[in-house]
Structure 1
Amino acid sequence: MARERAAGVPGGPEAGPADPFHRRLAAFEGSAAAIGGRGKDPVNAPMIRHWCEAVGDANPAYTGPDAIAPPTMLQAWTMGGLSGHGDRTSAYDELLALLDGAGYTSVVATDCEQEYRRPLRPGDTVAFDAVIESVSPRKTTRLGTGHFVTTRMDVRVDGELAGTHRFRILKYAPAARPDGRARSAERPASGARPRASRPRPVVNRDNQGFWDGVRDRKLLIQRCTGCSGLRFPWLPGCHACGSPAWDTVEASGAATVFSYVVMHHPPFPAFDPPYAVALVELAEGVRMVSNITGVPYDKVRISLPVQLEFLTVDDGLVLPVFRGSEA
């Protein structure tokens, strides 16, 4: 059996014996977080090759007719992608909501542990279950005070345990800054939370033209002058023919929802969850990620027609968003 551990934020001493709130949290221990999950793809050579190239691992054990998958890829075979697996239970969400309600609204991943029982080989199909393994008593760290939540995923092939993945987060209330204020957004005496500043996009020489267009209320799409292919997001060269030459076309603004996700957690001061974030397909054929406005988050659907509009967030920020209609 092999084991790998990645360490993160250490926990401080316990704040005392278990209190009634911790007993409520501990009641979730042993609850299923996912049941009957199955990997969306079998273990396969292309994913192994991409992984090895990304991390620079040239071990010959990962190539050839007798190849095995790198053990550290264990979690990669269980990921559900944008559409998820449909095997997740409500217990984990209920636990996080209980912590949020008690003021432990910040979250950080602290560490993971993996145990390897048998190698995975191309062609293997993995199955998995996950459980809430433990919720710690209240602890104080450099970040703040909160509770460590550990989930354990058991990964199997043909009923045989192939490995175990433990993932630990800290749900915490941020510690005070040196000036005595909380590190998160402060509430004024009235109890109203001030609006945090919306995050700014990263603008560089490759996408400057796009943001210049947004400033002028135009959604510009790059067009390769070598093969006439459209591309988004903006790139310094054509991914189809390799030409560095390009011009732009202005999008009509008509689009449909190709895929979407409703953001519930984690809460962020500049946003009001729940809200919908969508991958929209423009009439011109390219896709982009944006917010959906004009309809409640639970009315957003795949293939919903939407129309481009420009949202003025503040004096320094304009964003392209897409408005839908319930009709």
Structure 2
Amino acid sequence: MAVQEDEPTARLKAYEGRPAAVTGVGKDPVNLPMIRHWCEAMGDTNPAYAGPGAVAPPTMLQAWTMAGLSGQRGRTSPYTELLGLLDELGCTSIVATDCEQEYLRPLRPGDEVTFDAVIESVSDRKTTRLGTGYFVTTRMNVRAGGEPAGTHRFRVLKYAPARERPDEPRPRRPRPVVNRDNAGFWQGVAEHRLLIQRCTDCGTLRHPWLPGCNACGGPDWDTVEASGEGTVYSYVVVHHPPFPAFDPPYAVGLVQLAEGVRMVSDVVGVPHDKVRIGLPVRLEFRSCDEELTLPVFRVVER
């Protein structure tokens, strides 16, 4: 028996297939300075991204289309209307959930990037630990010099925040996304071991886990266990939004491990306003509930 959609869901699904952006134009052509900044931030030393004949890292696909603080020409009224309708339905909060990218050709310095986007899907009403709302997926087709360069799917949850009652148990922390590329990392964490991938062709260590080496492109790898020593390379203090299961403000650090790779995790052991770049930290494993263990870094007293 077919299940009829409720009236709000039917109104939302009417936006599927309508444009979210038309003939958008990247604010800058693909250029070496932005590629360099990206690679420095990611710790990516692949020589393909520097010097004569350089190409842009494929994962920068979305970066060339981003609007920045001043906004982007090309956004259409259907997308704005959809977000407004969700606000009217009480779904006033939003969180990005995931993205998928497909690469069709490398982007090179000097390429002018253009794009179109469509509202690909609006889910049925879903209840999550954050609240009740709808997943909205947009698909962006990116071109360079008029040629297809890639596809970027971006999914958000627009939701009405859940209200906690005093008698309700504390919500659990969100589960990490475990897939075939990072399952070994999370298995190590469950065993209280922090495993770093190592390319068996060139010996380069890498984190986060990837299906291939970002230095030589080799597909084969093994692992080394991190010593747990590190320093705070950079950090942010999260004040808002106050998601269930989190108690802002708290510090999230980009930690430089002694082995040379960096990873993002909570910095604990001192108040959030005492965290500083360069602080020594040591790995520990925190049990969040009966199913979830996470690596965190405790500041080492000097």
- The CA distance in 1 between the partners of 2:136 and 2:117, in whole Å, is 13
Counterpart in 2 of 1:35?
A: 22
Determine if the alignment matches structure 1 residue 135 to structure 2 residue 122.
Answer: yes
Q: In structure 1, what residue type is equivalent to 2:82?
A: L
Determine if the alignment matches structure 1 residue 179 to structure 2 residue 166.
Answer: yes
**1:110-149 paired onto structure 2 within 5 Å:** 110-149=97-136
| Cα offsets for 1:252-279 (capped at 9, x unmatched) | xxxxxxxxxxxxxxxxxxxxxxxxxxxx
**Of 45, 53, 67, which residue of structure 2 is paired with 1:58?**
45
**Of 85, 89, 97, which residue of structure 2 is paired with 1:98?**
85
Q: Alpha-carbon deviation of 1:109?
A: 1.0
Q: Alpha-carbon deviation of 1:158?
A: 2.5
8 A Cα contact 2:26 2:114, kept in partner:
yes
Determine if the alignment matches structure 1 residue 45 to structure 2 residue 32.
Answer: yes
- The CA distance in 2 between the partners of 1:179 and 1:119, in whole Å, is 53
Counterpart in 2 of 1:73?
A: 60
Local SS of the residue matching 1:84: coil
Local SS of the residue matching 2:61: helix
The TM-score normalised by the length of structure 1 is 0.49
Determine if the alignment matches structure 1 residue 88 to structure 2 residue 75.
Answer: yes
Change (3 A) 1:32 1:172: same
- The CA distance in 2 between the partners of 1:37 and 1:102, in whole Å, is 29
**1:103-252 paired onto structure 2 within 5 Å:** 103-179=90-166
Q: Alpha-carbon deviation of 1:64?
A: 2.0
Q: Alpha-carbon deviation of 1:122?
A: 0.8
Local SS of the residue matching 1:37: strand
- The CA distance in 2 between the partners of 1:82 and 1:140, in whole Å, is 32
Matched pairs, number: 170
Q: In structure 1, what residue type is equivalent to 2:112?
A: T
| Cα offsets for 1:98-153 (capped at 9, x unmatched) | 11111112211111111111110111111101111110001111111110011111
- The CA distance in 1 between the partners of 2:76 and 2:119, in whole Å, is 11
- The CA distance in 2 between the partners of 1:119 and 1:59, in whole Å, is 14
Q: In structure 2, what residue type is equivalent to 1:112?
A: C
- The CA distance in 2 between the partners of 1:67 and 1:168, in whole Å, is 31
Q: CA RMSD in A?
A: 2.3
Q: Alpha-carbon deviation of 1:159?
A: 2.4
Q: In structure 1, what residue type is equivalent to 2:149?
A: A
Q: Alpha-carbon deviation of 1:17?
A: 5.2
Counterpart in 1 of 2:10?
A: 23
Change (3 A) 1:96 1:179: same
| Cα offsets for 1:51-74 (capped at 9, x unmatched) | 101110001111121211001111
Q: Alpha-carbon deviation of 1:80?
A: 2.5
In structure 1, list runs of 5 or more residues that go unmatched: 1-15, 184-198, 203-327
Q: In structure 1, what residue type is equivalent to 2:95?
A: V
- The CA distance in 1 between the partners of 2:111 and 2:127, in whole Å, is 43
In structure 2, list runs of 5 or more residues that go unmatched: 171-241, 243-248, 250-302
Q: Percent identity?
A: 72
- The CA distance in 1 between the partners of 2:71 and 2:84, in whole Å, is 20
Larger Rg: 1
Local SS of the residue matching 1:34: strand
The TM-score normalised by the length of structure 2 is 0.53
Q: In structure 2, what residue type is equivalent to 1:25?
A: L
Change (3 A) 1:80 1:104: closer
Local SS of the residue matching 2:62: helix
- The CA distance in 2 between the partners of 1:153 and 1:38, in whole Å, is 12
- The CA distance in 2 between the partners of 1:141 and 1:115, in whole Å, is 28
Change (3 A) 1:179 1:152: same
Q: Alpha-carbon deviation of 1:180?
A: 6.2
